[in-house]
Amino acid sequence: MRKGSEPPGHGAPSPGGHRDSTLKIAIVDESPVRAAILEDGLREAGFTLVERIGETRNLLARVYALDPDVILIGLENPSRDVLEQMFQMSRAVKRPVAMFVDQSDSASIEAAVDAGVSAYIVDGLKKERITSILDLCISRFNSFARLQAELDKAKDALEDRKIIDRAKGVLMKARNCTEEEAYALLRKTAMNENKRIAEIAQSVLTAAEMFK
C-alpha cells in the first residue's frame, strides 16, 4: 500500500447524492456466493474498480499489493482466529473497513471497534444495502481520522509546551534571567534559524545534558 497515501475523503456521497465511482474496492471473502452479492451491489451502483481476494492466506500482503481505497469483508460464522486476523489487517492498512458476519457477540463487536473497523454488520448482507453501508463506512472512517488527527495535534502541542518550559528553566538558571526573557531568547533564535521554538528548546535541553 502506498506509504503516506491518504484515505478516501471523497467516497461518501456529496450533498447532491453523487458517489465517486473511481474508488478501488477490495472484497475479502472465501465464499464466491457471498462475494458475488457484494460485487453485484457495488457494480449496480456504478463502482467498477472492484477486486476480490478469495483466500485469507497472506491476506495483509495481498491487500497491500492491491492497495484499495475501501475494504469489504464477508465472513460466515468466523472463528476467533479468523476474526483476529481480520482485525490485525484493519489495524495495519488504515483504510475504511466494513465487515459482514452472520453471527457475532458483544466481545467481537467491541474488538472490531478497537481494531478500527468502520462498519461491523451482523446478518445484514443484502445487495441493496451495500452502497449505503459503504457510505457509512467511509463517513465513519473519515470522522475518526479527523478526531485522531486533532488528538495527535493536541498531544504534540502539550509535548512541545513541556519541552519549552524545561528549556526556559535551563536558560533562566544559566543566564540568570526571567522566564519572559528566556522565552524571548528561544523565540528570537527560532526566528533567526527558521525553526520551531520547540526544536530550539530541544537543542537547549540536549546541550544541557552534554554539559552535566
Rounded to an integer, what distance in angstroms lies between the CA atom of residue 60 and that of residue 141? 19
Q: Is the pTM of this model over 0.75?
A: no
The three-state secondary structure class of 25 is: strand
Which CATH number describes the domain made up of 25-149? 3.40.50.2300
Q: Are strands 70-75 and 25-28 parallel, antiparallel or unpaired?
A: parallel
What digits encode the pLDDT tens for the residues 38-56? Answer: 888 888 888 888 888 887 7
| SS3 sequence of 44-80 | HCCCCCEEEECCCCCHHHHHHHHCCCEEEEEECCCCH
Q: Is the model's pLDDT at 10 over the cut of 60?
A: no
Q: Looking at the domain 153-210, which fold is it?
A: Arc Repressor Mutant, subunit A (1.10.10)
> Considering the chain, what is the average pLDDT of its residues?
82
Sign, CA dihedral 11-16-21-22, equals: negative
Please state the domain extents for the chain. 25-149, 153-210
Q: Is the model's pLDDT at 15 over the cut of 60?
A: no
Q: Is the model's pLDDT at 105 over the cut of 80?
A: no
What digits encode the pLDDT tens for the residues 116-127? Answer: 888 887 876 777
Residue 90's contacts (CB-CB under 8 Å, 6 or more residues apart) are: 71, 97, 99, 112, 115, 116, 117
DSSP-derived secondary structure letter, 4: T
